Amino acid sequence: IMQLPVVYQKAKEQVFKIWTTLQPLLTVHVGLASSAKALIILEQCGKNKGYQEMDACGLHPEGGCCMLDGPEKIESTINMKSLWKNISVEGIDIIFSRDAGRYICDYTYYTSLYYGNGRAAFIHVPPLSKSVTAEFLGKALQTIILEMLKQCGKEREAQHKDNSLSVE
């Protein structure tokens, strides 16, 4: 677990470090959606352009862009729509989204999708409250992430079968 700063460049450096040093199967990012009261949002893709809002240091990325040579958007290898349709957590609504918001969350997500070849996920969560406690949110995230890992396992099995078929 690593907390990323609300600073574009530092967040980008940390995400790069995660992918180059830890080389994870999947990176799951969790960000605060202060406008969502009791809602978890599963984000499908990250967008490359449109970052004009200033970060905590009063800066925004050059050209309002994550990666100057990057594609317009990158989709997660995790099928968030399928996850959203097949999962439920009692006491909180879960929705599917294709727009993480063009601020540090979306920027971080795009960067992670870029460096991780799509093997990243982003979950927006509501602020903690009487109805959404840290323990409750932790259990909800655990349920969601376990389902993501199942998808990763199925994808790896399919790749292994494809590789073994091509070898024979």
Q: Name the active-site residue from 72, 90, 105, 147.
A: 105
Q: Name the active-site residue from 29, 45, 66, 124.
A: 124
d(CA 59, CA 12): 13
Contact 102, 13 (CB under 8 A): no
Q: Examine the residue annotation and report whether 105 is marked as an active-site residue of this protein.
A: yes
Residue type, 139: K
What separation in angstroms does the CA of 154 have from each of 79, 99, 147, 158?
Answer: 12, 26, 11, 6
d(CA 114, CA 31): 18
Contact 50, 64 (CB under 8 A): yes
Q: Examine the residue annotation and report whether 29 is marked as an active-site residue of this protein.
A: no
Q: Examine the residue annotation and report whether 124 is marked as an active-site residue of this protein.
A: yes
Q: Name the active-site residue from 43, 45, 60, 90.
A: 43
Catalytic residues: 43, 105, 124
